[in-house]
């Protein structure tokens, strides 16, 4: 999901982070680089930091503090938002390549990258960057087959769910039988992935009572498909909003790049992914 920041907030955030690191306000694993005065723009300063971030860290030595390493990796990722794409890609590739010298460290790099770039609490969701890491993990002969297969599966799922691509076909079990998403026609789709957790119950209520969403449904501009991840309890399907298509699918996590439950995908009329893993709050804001 692309997280859009205003110019003001981006500059303010970067200035704050840069000043904290320069002044040593936060405890860190090593001394972070500081951009020279010759770097006159926000992008050039962040480029310098991204390129030189790991200079004071030897990835070949065992990582003893996993939590501190994950925090450090998240700090590294914070600069990605304002650095040049090619600089970031090159830096990530170089760091992962060096990490292969120690298989235990390589696994920790993979875990930190998943948390910071891919997981539900990631600061900066980026399919492009995370696939770089996951592919390196999947292709590494230094790792066990189970670890390689874990990352291989992630790469496959991400590549099947890229924005602009048609979503994988899902068989959805509804109260009246099984249907396929690809057989449903609509001007646009909202796929709402849920379970019976408290978050899903609250978001279901907020979405089903939203005036803007209901207006779009009534006008034929939107079709909401609620997909229960797994197998719901008896009677669940029959108790859901009547204006939605409600069903369940136990293959969701194998086929669709769902990173948080509840979560939403928005599709166009050709069932191509417009955006994915957005919250109900973001959907409501866009509609209204």
The answer to whether residues 57 and 30 touch, using CB atoms and an 8 Å cutoff, is yes
Alpha helices in 114-144 (DSSP H): 127-138
Give the mean model confidence (pLDDT) for residues 7-19.
47
What's the confidence (pLDDT) of residue 11? 47
Question: Within 10 Å of residue 212's Cβ, how many Cβ atoms?
Answer: 14
Say how far apart CA 171 and CA 225 lie, in whole Å: 12
Length of the chain in residues, anyone?
288
DSSP count for the chain of H helices, then E strands: 11, 7
Give the mean model confidence (pLDDT) for residues 180-200.
95
The two structure tokens encoding residue 210: 């939203």
What's the confidence (pLDDT) of residue 123? 80
Q: Enumerate the domain spans of the chain.
A: 7-160, 171-287
Strands, E, within the chain: which ranges? 171-174, 177-180, 188-194, 223-229, 245-249, 263-268, 273-278
% of the chain residues with pLDDT over 70: 91
Residue 156 has pLDDT above 70, yes or no: yes
What's the confidence (pLDDT) of residue 26? 64
* Matching residue, tokens 């019976």: 196
Give the model confidence (pLDDT) of 194-222 as tens digits: 999 999 999 999 999 999 999 999 999 99
Of the CATH numbers 3.30.70.890, 3.40.50.280, 3.30.450.20, 3.40.30.10, which one belongs to the domain with range 171-287? 3.40.30.10
Nearest to 191 by CA among 133, 274, 79: 274
What is the pTM (predicted TM-score) of this model? 0.81
Say how far apart CA 123 and CA 133 lie, in whole Å: 16
């Amino acid at each position: 999901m692309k997280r859009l920041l205003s110019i003001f907030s981006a500059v303010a955030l970067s200035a704050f982070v840069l000043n904290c690191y320069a002044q040593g306000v936060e405890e860190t694993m090593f001394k972070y680089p500081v951009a020279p005065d010759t770097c006159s723009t926000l992008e050039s300063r962040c480029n310098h930091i991204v390129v030189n971030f790991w200079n004071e860290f030897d990835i070949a030595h065992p990582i003893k503090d996993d939590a501190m390493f994950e925090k450090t990796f998240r700090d590294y990722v914070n600069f990605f938002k304002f650095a040049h794409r090619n600089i970031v890609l090159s830096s990530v590739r170089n760091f992962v390549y060096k990490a292969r010298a120690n298989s235990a460290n390589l696994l920790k790099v993979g875990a930190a990258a998943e948390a910071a770039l891919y997981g539900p609490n990631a600061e900066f969701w980026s399919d492009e960057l995370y696939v770089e890491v996951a592919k390196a993990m999947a292709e590494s002969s230094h790792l066990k087959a189970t670890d390689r297969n874990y990352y291989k599966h992630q790469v496959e799922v991400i590549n099947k769910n890229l924005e602009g691509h048609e979503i994988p076909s899902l068989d959805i079990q509804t109260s009246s039988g099984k249907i396929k998403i690809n057989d449903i026609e609509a001007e646009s789709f909202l796929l709402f992935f849920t379970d019976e957790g408290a978050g899903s119950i609250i978001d279901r209520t907020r979405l089903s009572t939203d005036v803007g969403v209901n207006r779009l449904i009534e006008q034929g501009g939107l079709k909401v498909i609620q997909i229960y991840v797994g197998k719901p309890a008896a009677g669940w399907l029959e108790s859901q909003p009547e204006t939605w298509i409600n069903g369940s699918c136990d293959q969701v996590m194998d086929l669709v790049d769902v990173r948080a439950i509840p979560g939403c995908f928005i599709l166009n009329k050709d069932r191509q992914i417009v955006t994915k893993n957005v919250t109900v709050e973001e959907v409501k804001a866009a509609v209204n």
